[in-house]
Amino acid sequence: MKKVIKLTVNGMEKELLVDVHSTLLDVLREDLGLKGTKKGCNQGECGACTVLIDGNPVPSCSLLAVKADGKDVLTIEGVAEAGKLHAIQEVFNEKGAIQCGFCTPGMILVTKKLLDDNPNPDEQEIKEAIAGNICRCTGYAQIIEAIMALAGRKQVR
């Protein structure tokens, strides 16, 4: 069974014919070629497939594409603007909060949500915010350090 859905992906409106049994992750990666969103555990436990849906981070492997109909989706490809890295991406680079890079798109997106809601989080709040994102390089210290460096900045956007 197929269905037409409307998505706004990184600011662009799309009308797509999708299989009702496709996950949003599969549609993003395979139909739209947005491979920045990673497939990790495919069970919603690792957070590698995180995208922002109407501003909230959700594991796209655990969401049917048809359930995202009419929603606004932000993937890692939409975070940088006009070829310029987002402040979060800059700081992750500077602080070495990026090793193999597989968890990074998800980490950046949950960080964005965290800072949008609470521009000045403390360490505990940061740890709670990234609790659903696993870094198998175990580079958590640098990731937390990077987010701490962003805390309190006036304009993270």
Partner 1 sequence: MRLNEFDYYDPATLEEAVELLNQKANGAIIAGGSDLLVALKQKLQTPNYLLSLDKIPSLKKVKFTENKLTLGSMVTLDDIIKSSLIQEKLPALKQAAWEVASPLLRYQATIGGNLCLNTRCRFYNQTSFWRSTRGPCFKTGGKSCHVTGTEERCYAAFCADIPPVLIAYGARINLAGMQGARTISLADFYNGEGRFPNVIAAGSGEILTGIEIPFPQTGVKSVYRKFRLRDSIDYPLVGAAVALKLDAQNKIEMITLSCTGTASGPVNIKSINEVLRGAVLKPEAIWDAAAAAAVELHPLKTSLVSPRYKRDISRVVIAEAIATAGGVTL
Which residues in this chain contact partner 1 in the complex, by CB under 8 A?
Answer: 1, 3, 19-23, 42-45, 47, 50, 53, 56-59, 61-64, 66-67, 110, 128-129, 131-133
Count each helix (H run) and each strand (E run) in the chain, helices first. Answer: 5, 5
Residue 14 or 67 with smaller CB distance to partner 1: 67
Residue 61 or 98 with smaller CB distance to partner 1: 61
Neighbours of 131 (CB within 10 A): 10
3-state DSSP call for residue 5? strand
Q: C-beta of 38: minimal distance to partner 1 in Å?
A: 14
Q: C-beta of 149: minimal distance to partner 1 in Å?
A: 21
Residue 9 or 18 with smaller CB distance to partner 1: 18
Q: C-beta of 129: minimal distance to partner 1 in Å?
A: 6
| Residues whose CB is less than 8 angstroms from the CB of residue 69 and which lie 6 or more positions away in sequence, other chains included | 3, 5, 6, 7
**Distance (Å, whole) CA 140 – CA 97:** 8
Q: Position of tokens 């680079």?
A: 93
| Residues whose CB is less than 8 angstroms from the CB of residue 114 and which lie 6 or more positions away in sequence, other chains included | 121, 125, 126, 129, 147
Q: C-beta of 57: minimal distance to partner 1 in Å?
A: 5
Residue 59 or 139 with smaller CB distance to partner 1: 59
Q: C-beta of 157: minimal distance to partner 1 in Å?
A: 21
Residues in the chain: 157
Residue 26 or 32 with smaller CB distance to partner 1: 26
**Distance (Å, whole) CA 15 – CA 101:** 30
